[in-house]
Amino acid sequence: MGDSYRRKTCRLCDSADLELVVPLTPCGLPDAYLPLHRLQERQGVYPLDLYLCRGCGHVQMLDIVDPAILFSGEYRYLTGSTPAVVRHFEEYADRVIARVRPAHGSWAIDVGSNDGTLLGFFKARGHRVLGIDAAKEVAAQATAAGIETIPEFLTPQLAERVRREYGPAAVVTCNNAFAHADDLAGMADCIRDLLAEDGVFVFEVSYVLDIVDKMLLGTIFHEHLSHHSVKPMVLFLRRHGMELIDVHRVSLQGGSFIGTAQLASGRRPVDASVGAALALEAERRLDRPEVYREFSARLEQAKAALLRILEDLKGEGKKIAGFGAARGGTTMLFHFELNRFLEFIVDDNPAKQNTFSPVHHIPVLPTRALFDRRPDYVFILAWVHARPIIEKYSAFRTQGGRFIVPLPQPEVV
Ligand SMILES: [Zn+2]
């Protein structure tokens, strides 16, 4: 296709021994909701299949969409726009500071710093801060708001320049960017080169154990090239001159873990949380293909049950809408073939309203359409938030409407 390519080796250990474990329907780009005037644009679908590396146990996508296409959408997510994420980053900064005790006034650098939300908390606690984010407009906004942000990708040249001009960092954080990058090896080397002798690298990544246990299909989309676990990360960091010293699980946004690493020569003791995570992963056999094949089978069972429900409703002439035009819903629209059933999608977010879903062009309307257009059923695409959505829109049920919650098991409420 030209706008995507497939890598042949594991992103973490370079092994070519890769096994397809979760086949998924090729899917439109997650955020490619188009306004009316762009509807004639060609929109492609791209593979979402997950592979397991039999060398190190890392679960990953091998098909990579050209970032210039993937991040070309009109909609740009800002960390500071979600209060729960802001609170999370405050706790994150406090936890790093309590755990690592970086010197007052030492440098905290965030790679993929977005609007500078995380760095703002380090700054408020007495650190000098520097953001690195290639999204130029967002970087400029962050700089204007007092968080100096270099509008570039992290390269060896930039790492060298930052170290020379600013000095070594006590803390380097890298969160989403670490899940989104294809060249993690290059990124890890750059980050290591930014660190002071007693500096730490802190990263938050989605945890594949949560995806499997909680059926988090919505976490699987084209930006998320890697679905991490602790064991492959220990080996990977070691290969890049670092040592994992702490693991902390977080339940926000489905499930992730925050890892803290020091240089291989570092003097901090390894926390018991690392051994505990490795023991849990060994017990769950997280490096074996069976775990993921079983996840895939549960997904297919859910799909079959949902298609039965939706076919029956359609046969009865019921009107069905979707709820939630977020990135994770796109995977579901494609894999569960929902375009055959949904007349429209509603979303609270004004930026998504009056757009059209990727490839299928299902219209996205404000949530009042639940009451103006009165669908009989609403399929909750953003199902991890099903409970608050159902509570908030209890009037929809009062008028006779029903919600369909697709996962972890299909349910009509
Ligand atoms: Zn590997």
Report H helices in 54-170. 67-70, 83-100, 117-124, 136-144, 156-166
Q: In DSSP terms, which residues pair with 202 in a beta bridge?
A: 173, 260
**Residue 82: its pLDDT value, please?**
84
Could you tell me the distance, in angstroms and rounded to a whole number, from the CA of residue 153 to the centre of ligand 1? 25
Q: How far is the CA of 249 from the centre of ligand 1 (A)?
A: 22
Q: How far is the CA of 17 from the centre of ligand 1 (A)?
A: 8
Cβ-based neighbours of 258, under 8 Å, separated by 6 or more: 92, 95, 202, 203, 204, 246, 247, 248, 249, 250
Q: What pLDDT is recorded for position 66?
A: 87
* Residues belonging to the chain: 413
pLDDT of residue 45: 95
Distance 15 CA to ligand 1 centre (A): 5
Helix runs in 200-320, H state only = 208-214, 230-239, 272-283, 289-315
Strands 107-111 and 345-347: unpaired
Report pLDDT for 328.
87
Identify the CA nearest to 272 among candidates 236, 238, 247: 247
In the reported structure, the alpha carbon of residue 56 is separated from the centroid of ligand 1 by a whole-number distance in angstroms of 4
Provide the token pair at 291. Answer: 């775990």
Measured in angstroms, how far is the CA atom of residue 105 from the centroid of ligand 1? 38
Distance, CA of 173 to CA of 118 (rounded, Å): 9
User: 317 C-alpha to center of ligand 1: Å?
Assistant: 50
Residue given tokens 């901090």 in the structure block: 268
End-to-end CA distance of the chain: 42
Alpha carbon separation from 297 to 37, 151, 362 (Å, rounded) = 40, 43, 28
Nearest to 191 by CA among 247, 143, 259: 259
Give the pLDDT of residue 135. Answer: 87
Please list the ranges in the chain whose pLDDT falls under 70: 1-2, 72-76
Distance 373 CA to ligand 1 centre (A): 50
| Residue 237 Cα to ligand 1 middle (Å) | 12
Domains belonging to the chain, first-starting first, are: 79-286 (3.40.50.150), 290-412 (3.40.50.720)
| DSSP secondary structure, 62-92, as one string | -EEE-HHHHT-SS----GGG-HHHHHHHHHH
Q: Which two tokens stand for residue 27?
A: 């899917």
Contact 181, 225 (CB under 8 A): yes
